[in-house]
Amino acid sequence: MNYYEVNFDGLVGPTHNYAGLSYGNVASKANAKKFSNPKQAALQGLGKMFALSQLGLHQGVLAPNARPDLKTLRSLGFAGSDKQVIVKAAQVEPQLLKACYSASSMWTANAATISPSCDTQDNKVHFTPANLSNKLHRAIEADTTARILQSVFHDEAFFVHHSPLPQHPLFGDEGAANHTRLADSYNHAGLAVFVYGQDNRSEVRPTKFPARQTRQASEAVARSHMLNPDNCLFIQQNPNVIDQGVFHNDVIAIGNENVFLFHEQAFYEQQAAVKHIRDAYKGSRPLHLIEVSEADVSVEDAVQSYIFNSQLVSLPNGGMAIIAPSECQKVDSVESYLSALKQASTPINEVIYLDVKQSMQNGGGPACLRLRVVLSEQELKASNQSCLLDETLYHTLCLWVEKHYRDQLSEYDLADPQLLTESYTALDELSQILALGSVYDFQRV
């Protein structure tokens, strides 16, 4: 049976804006209050999806959460008509309104953790939506994301959906951004490498910025997904790099099949961590552990360029390509490193630069924008076909964006109730294009 990696990218929602909501994420803070361009952001994201599909890869689309999140605002005591809720929140709690307007569900690497059927004891694909409990604007994503995932992967013969972990600091879970699967190929059982920022039983933790993922959360996900404990590793992120802006492991490491590329400061007690990975890997092909030295690329350059937030994809005709953000071309050390890497004797032989600047300015590179789902041919057929990107869907979605999205948004626009109407109208239409059913709260009342 053939298995494929399908990248499900998050479609950027109509309210994409820069609100400075993510303490510990350098770009989010640096670009707070900048004017955003939601139309350009969505088209850049669609451009990336189309580019990957043109490489012959399977590409999916995940719908965004609906924003503003009126349900949350109402639960916090803002009452009256929808318009009144917005106007009142804008006056009294503008920060809260920003959280409820964030388009952050676009970063679907944080939507969930997925275990493919070749890794699980019941041979089904398991999904746990991330609770994203560290940030309010992200914690409110979990319920709708769960509904969207259920609508895309609805066949119970193949797919198991777990509830998000409890919303508590003990179980902070940021999904696939802290989970890498290493395997001979997608057809094989893999080693699930869970990377956490904090173990609640240990004092080793960052001192400046928050560690968003806990070991306890990763362990709970591995248990629910019925993974073989011999095929799971729990490794701690280096707390010093979290304090330098590496708020998820996918900002400092990237893996695909039998290749793992990571910075020399990525992990706590790195030598031992790398040995654990080498020892636990059960594949028969060579495992390529590529460690990038501080001398070649500093942590600062890594955070600025997002080199490790590239996608590493297997090409249909063999070899792998790095899909890097175009910011990598502007940082000399990174560009030199990448051009040397494709000549070196590793499976990586191509580097493709793509422009996702609108997302990058909020700390989301190419890898943040996609959720990897390894599916067998049968499981792929059992998924919602309207969410799989082909040329027709790409053009339909571009037209949909052109029709509904603004090309400029500032924090002041969030107080305008017209934006709510525009956003919900667009998403209502989108849920029909993607055949999702009534996944949004505003469709369910």
The structure tokens listed for 355 are 């422009």
Q: How many CB atoms lie within 10 A of CB 263?
A: 25
CA distances, 103 to each of 16, 33, 198, 218, 315 (Å) = 5, 15, 27, 25, 31
Instruction: Pick between residue 18 and residue 281 the one whose CB is nearest to ligand SUG.
Output: 18
Decide if residue 251 touches ligand SUG (CB under 6 A).
yes
Here's the x/- map for ligand SUG, 5-24, by CB under 6 A: it reads as -------------xxxxx--
Q: Which residues, in sequence order, are CB contacts of 208 under 8 Å at separation 6+?
A: 24, 243
CB of 381 to ligand SUG, least distance (A): 29
Q: Which residues, in sequence order, are CB contacts of 71 under 8 Å at separation 6+?
A: 441
CB of 433 to ligand SUG, least distance (A): 25
Instruction: Pick between residue 184 and residue 416 the one whose CB is nearest to ligand SUG.
Output: 416
Instruction: Pick between residue 46 and residue 367 the one whose CB is nearest to ligand SUG.
Output: 367
Give dist(CA 396, CA 364) in Å, integer.
25
Binding-site sequence positions: 19-28, 110, 137-138, 212, 250, 362
Q: Check: CB of residue 3 under 8 Å from CB of residue 186.
A: yes
Give dist(CA 87, CA 297) in Å, integer.
47
CB of 291 to ligand SUG, least distance (A): 20
Q: Which of 15, 37, 104, 310 binds ligand SUG (CB under 6 A)?
A: 104
Decide if residue 105 touches ligand SUG (CB under 6 A).
no
174 annotated active-site: yes
Instruction: Pick between residue 124 and residue 181 the one whose CB is nearest to ligand SUG.
Output: 181
CB of 148 to ligand SUG, least distance (A): 17
Instruction: Pick between residue 137 and residue 205 the one whose CB is nearest to ligand SUG.
Output: 137
Q: Check: CB of residue 323 under 8 Å from CB of residue 356.
A: no
3-class SS shares of the chain: helix, strand, coil, % to 5: 40, 20, 40
Give dist(CA 331, CA 215) in Å, integer.
33
Site for ligand SUG in 361-380 (CB under 6 A): 362-364, 368
Binding-site sequence positions for substrate: 19-28, 110, 137-138, 212, 250, 362
Q: Which of 67, 138, 205, 404 binds ligand SUG (CB under 6 A)?
A: 138
Instruction: Pick between residue 252 and residue 382 the one whose CB is nearest to ligand SUG.
Output: 252
Decide if residue 109 touches ligand SUG (CB under 6 A).
yes
Name the residue with tokens 């609100």.
19
Give dist(CA 411, CA 359) in Å, integer.
17
The structure tokens listed for 390 are 């082909």
Instruction: Pick between residue 124 and residue 212 the one whose CB is nearest to ligand SUG.
Output: 212
CB of 352 to ligand SUG, least distance (A): 19
Which residues are paired to 159 by β-bridges?
Answer: 125
Site for ligand SUG in 163-192 (CB under 6 A): 177
Q: Which of 16, 126, 179, 248 is catalytic?
A: 248
Here's the x/- map for ligand SUG, 55-94, by CB under 6 A: it reads as ----------------------------------------
Q: Which of 126, 248, 372, 404 binds ligand SUG (CB under 6 A)?
A: 248
Give dist(CA 143, CA 411) in Å, integer.
25
Stretch of residues binding ligand SUG (CB under 6 A), selected from 5-13, 106-114, 146-154, 233-241: 106-114
Decide if residue 37 touches ligand SUG (CB under 6 A).
no
The structure tokens listed for 264 are 């020399």
Decide if residue 28 touches ligand SUG (CB under 6 A).
yes
Q: How many CB atoms lie within 10 A of CB 319?
A: 14
Instruction: Pick between residue 116 and residue 364 the one whose CB is nearest to ligand SUG.
Output: 364
CA 197 centroid distance within chain? 17
Q: Which of 100, 232, 328, 368 is catalytic?
A: 368
Q: Which of 5, 174, 257, 264 is catalytic?
A: 174
Stretch of residues binding ligand SUG (CB under 6 A), selected from 6-14, 65-73, 227-235, 243-251: 243-251
Give dist(CA 52, CA 59) in Å, integer.
7
Count of positions on this chain that bind ligand SUG (CB under 6 A): 21
Q: How many CA atoms lie within 13 A of 331 on its CB side?
A: 22
Q: Check: CB of residue 367 under 8 Å from CB of residue 109.
A: yes
Q: Which residues, in sequence order, are CB contacts of 318 under 8 Å at separation 6+?
A: none
- Nearest CA to 177 among 223, 205, 138, 231? 138
Q: Which of 7, 11, 14, 25 binds ligand SUG (CB under 6 A)?
A: 25
Name the residue with tokens 């996702």.
356
Contacts to ligand SUG by CB under 6 A: 18-22, 25, 28, 102, 104, 107, 109-110, 138, 177, 248, 250-251, 362-364, 368
Catalytic residue numbers read 174, 248, 368
